[in-house]
């Protein structure tokens, strides 16, 4: 048996239960060893191009296949899993440790899935594991947020399942020998062919992936769910779901123009809410949306440099966001609050955490010498190149110019809200009271390692570029990444964004309040409907309706007054009948609107 004979996810999934059983040093060792073994297998898979095929009900499944972008994502997933598990061992609950390993395993499974069904299965493993991690936050708010996360993502998973079935059906009807193969679905949507089985299925899969990427209007789940997990739980959550969605978008939907605009909307939405936030974890959660927006723009452009940029930025983001969530966890643990308005002056007591947080914040802001600078710049450059190419071809490039300007503004906004606001209000602002000095432990060591990685990839990005899908473009970009022009432009942009922070600080100082987001529709709206519509209706119409029900019962079973045969039948059959009617309506809709494929 060789490492290519089973998916890397299986190793993680099989080793996860041991994390719940071991104690002390054995636990710490296994927490580090498990992701490292997975990393070794990933390396083997990347260097031995040997897909694994399985026959399943006359369909060919490919649970192991290395895609061009698998390397960067999988290596980053393994490293962050090692960092997170090392941190969580001995601190987090057994359920959280076990779920975190399954979560990482699911993400690795998606990275190496060669067919739609394997991708879906590993996707659902991730969803279940993430739900348990949120529940492990241990608060009632965490349990409620976990349930909302589960419901929303189960709906997304259902959309993806229906989409996969429709795509496979359409492919079988055209005689495709490998109907479940994971390959680009862009042609099914662009140019829009009208509503066919394949386009409907592809649109459903795209919708499910955008939901998981945190795209508006449903992206509010990121800020709703992630902050409610434990400190280490949030670290895991920040790394896997949204980045796996980016990976799937990259493999399936590269070059879909609408994604460029969706990505721009994500960057601005994330930055705007991050500026408004007073909760350190919610601020970081919104900044995930903003950073994933940059990646989605890269995927939407679909040029080799843009895809390299999306991949590289996803890998860099995994590290610096894990670092920032870890620093936030340390700070929250010591101060006992998540509110920026109740923090300040912590650098005296926590110099190590302050330095690591600063490195993470500067990486996210794409400050020179940090990992964000060497990765996010690729996406900006790809937009500029696309505008130049359109200009040279005589096509109107105004749209691309608008995209470029909005991305620059979003980049400056990221520096405003995360690069300066976060470290300033937490570590350098007015002190709000003494906290005990930090004692470097496993969390401190992991924070230093992640900060070193962020700086290392900023100063020497070659190891990351070597894992990118389009090597030629990556190496070409490496020659200009530290050109005087690029450095001076970025410094100019960020420095004056920073100036705005200090000038406008009273405007940016937050009060103890929360911001309404789209999650209002699933957190407050149903309650409002019940309070303001359903309850008054029941109070008004309840007695006459009860009278009518009793009258019906008497008619159906006149002798005894108890529910008669028909009433019993109706009670049992009503639910399934409703489901059948819904399915029939869905089928008829598809049949009527997709006559060619049907």
Partner 1 sequence: MKPNHGAVLPCLRAVGLAALLLILVSQFSTMLRTHFAPPGLDLEARPLSYPMLGLAGTLTLAVLARLAGTFLARQENYYDTD
Residues in contact with partner 1 by CB under 8 A are 271-272, 275-276, 348, 377, 380-381, 383-384, 387-388, 391, 397-398, 400-401, 404-405, 408-409, 412-413, 415-416, 428, 480, 483-486, 488-501, 504, 507-508, 511-517, 523-524, 527-528
Under 8 Å between Cβ of 455 and 359:
yes
Residue with smaller CB distance to partner 1, 53 or 143: 143
**Which tokens hold the place of 498?**
């920073």
Residue 279 pairs in a beta bridge with 339
Residue with smaller CB distance to partner 1, 248 or 397: 397
Q: What is the CA radius of gyration of the chain?
A: 26
Residue with smaller CB distance to partner 1, 125 or 387: 387
**Which tokens hold the place of 97?**
């440790």
The Cα 71–Cα 65 span in angstroms is 11
* Measured CA distances, 48 to 157, 467, 556 (Å): 32, 14, 72
Q: Is 350 helix (H, G, I), strand (E, B) or coil?
A: coil
Provide CB contacts within 8 A for 268, sequence distance 6+: 290, 293, 406, 409, 410, 413
Task: Report in angstroms how near the CB of residue 383 gets to partner 1 at its nearest.
Answer: 7
Task: Report in angstroms how near the CB of residue 241 gets to partner 1 at its nearest.
Answer: 23
What is the rounded (10 degree) CA torsion for 115, 116, 117, 119?
Answer: 90
Under 8 Å between Cβ of 51 and 65:
yes
Residue with smaller CB distance to partner 1, 59 or 518: 518
Residue with smaller CB distance to partner 1, 262 or 379: 379
Task: Report in angstroms how near the CB of residue 519 gets to partner 1 at its nearest.
Answer: 9
The answer, yes or no, to whether the previous bond of 217 is cis (omega within 30 of 0) is yes
Task: Report in angstroms how near the CB of residue 437 gets to partner 1 at its nearest.
Answer: 12
Residue with smaller CB distance to partner 1, 351 or 536: 351
Residue with smaller CB distance to partner 1, 504 or 589: 504
Task: Report in angstroms how near the CB of residue 428 gets to partner 1 at its nearest.
Answer: 7
Provide CB contacts within 8 A for 420, sequence distance 6+: 361, 497, 498, 501
Task: Report in angstroms how near the CB of residue 271 gets to partner 1 at its nearest.
Answer: 6
Residue with smaller CB distance to partner 1, 33 or 401: 401
Task: Report in angstroms how near the CB of residue 495 gets to partner 1 at its nearest.
Answer: 5
Task: Report in angstroms how near the CB of residue 90 gets to partner 1 at its nearest.
Answer: 32
DSSP readout, 312-337?
HHHHHHHHHHHHHHHHHHHHHHHHS-
Residue with smaller CB distance to partner 1, 135 or 415: 415
Task: Report in angstroms how near the CB of residue 343 gets to partner 1 at its nearest.
Answer: 16
The Cα 239–Cα 121 span in angstroms is 19
Let me know the angle formed at the C-alpha of 409 by 404 and 412, rounded to the nearest 5 degrees. 125
């Amino acid at each position: 048996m060789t490492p290519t004979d089973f998916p890397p996810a299986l190793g993680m999934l099989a080793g996860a239960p041991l994390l719940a059983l071991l104690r002390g040093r054995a636990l710490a060792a296994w927490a580090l060893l498990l992701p490292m073994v997975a990393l070794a297998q990933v390396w083997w898979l990347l260097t031995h191009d040997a897909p694994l095929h399985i026959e399943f009900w006359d369909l060919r499944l490919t649970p192991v296949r290395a895609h061009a972008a698998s390397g960067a994502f999988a290596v980053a997933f393994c490293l962050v899993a090692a960092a997170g598990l090392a941190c969580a061992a001995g601190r987090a609950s057994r359920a959280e440790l076990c779920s975190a390993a399954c979560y990482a395993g699911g993400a690795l499974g998606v990275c190496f899935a060669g067919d739609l069904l394997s991708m879906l299965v590993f996707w659902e493993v991730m969803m279940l594991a993430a739900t348990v991690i949120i529940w492990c936050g241990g608060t009632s708010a965490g349990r409620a947020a976990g349930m909302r996360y589960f419901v929303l993502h189960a709906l997304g998973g259902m959309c993806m399942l229906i989409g996969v079935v429709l795509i496979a059906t359409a492919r079988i009807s055209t005689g495709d020998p490998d109907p479940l193969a994971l390959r680009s679905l862009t042609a099914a949507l662009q140019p829009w062919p009208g509503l066919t089985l394949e386009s409907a299925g592809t649109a459903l899969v795209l919708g499910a992936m955008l939901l998981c990427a945190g795209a508006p209007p449903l992206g509010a789940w990121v800020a709703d769910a992630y902050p409610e997990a434990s400190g280490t739980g949030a670290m895991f959550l920040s790394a896997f779901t949204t980045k796996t969605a980016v990976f799937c978008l990259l493999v399936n939907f590269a070059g879909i123009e609408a994604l460029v605009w969706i990505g721009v909307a994500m960057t601005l939405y994330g930055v705007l809410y991050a500026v408004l936030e007073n909760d350190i974890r919610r601020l970081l959660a919104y900044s995930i949306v903003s950073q994933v927006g940059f990646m989605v723009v890269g995927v939407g452009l679909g040029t080799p440099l843009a895809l390299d940029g999306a991949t590289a930025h996803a890998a860099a983001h995994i590290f610096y966001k894990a670092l920032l969530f870890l620093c936030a966890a340390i700070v929250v643990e010591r101060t006992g609050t998540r509110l920026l308005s109740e923090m300040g002056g912590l650098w005296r007591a926590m110099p190590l955490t302050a330095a690591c947080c600063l490195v993470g914040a500067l990486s996210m802001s794409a400050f020179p010498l940090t990992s964000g600078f060497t990765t996010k710049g690729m996406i900006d450059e790809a937009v500029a190149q696309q505008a130049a190419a359109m200009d040279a071809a005589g096509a109107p490039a105004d749209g691309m110019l608008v995209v470029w300007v909005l991305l620059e503004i979003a980049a400056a906004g990221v520096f405003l809200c995360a690069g300066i606001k976060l470290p300033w209000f937490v570590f350098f602002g007015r002190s709000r009271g003494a906290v005990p000095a930090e004692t470097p432990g496993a969390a401190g060591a992991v924070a230093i390692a992640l900060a070193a990685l962020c700086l290392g990839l900023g100063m020497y990005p070659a190891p990351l570029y070597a894992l990118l899908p389009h090597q030629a473009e990556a190496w070409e970009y490496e020659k200009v990444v530290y050109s005087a022009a690029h450095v001076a432009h970025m410094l100019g942009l960020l420095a004056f964004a920073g100036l705005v922070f200090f000038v406008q600080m009273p405007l940016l100082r937050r009060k103890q309040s929360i911001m309404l987001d789209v999650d209002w529709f699933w957190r407050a709206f149903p309650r409002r409907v019940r309070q303001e519509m359903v309850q008054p209706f029941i109070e008004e119409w309840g007695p006459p309706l009860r009278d009518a029900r009793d009258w019906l019962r008497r008619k159906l079973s006149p002798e005894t007054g108890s529910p008669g045969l028909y009433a019993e039948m109706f009670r049992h059959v009503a639910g399934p009948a409703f489901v059948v009617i819904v399915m029939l309506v869905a089928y008829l809709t598809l049949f009527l609107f997709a006559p060619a494929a049907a």
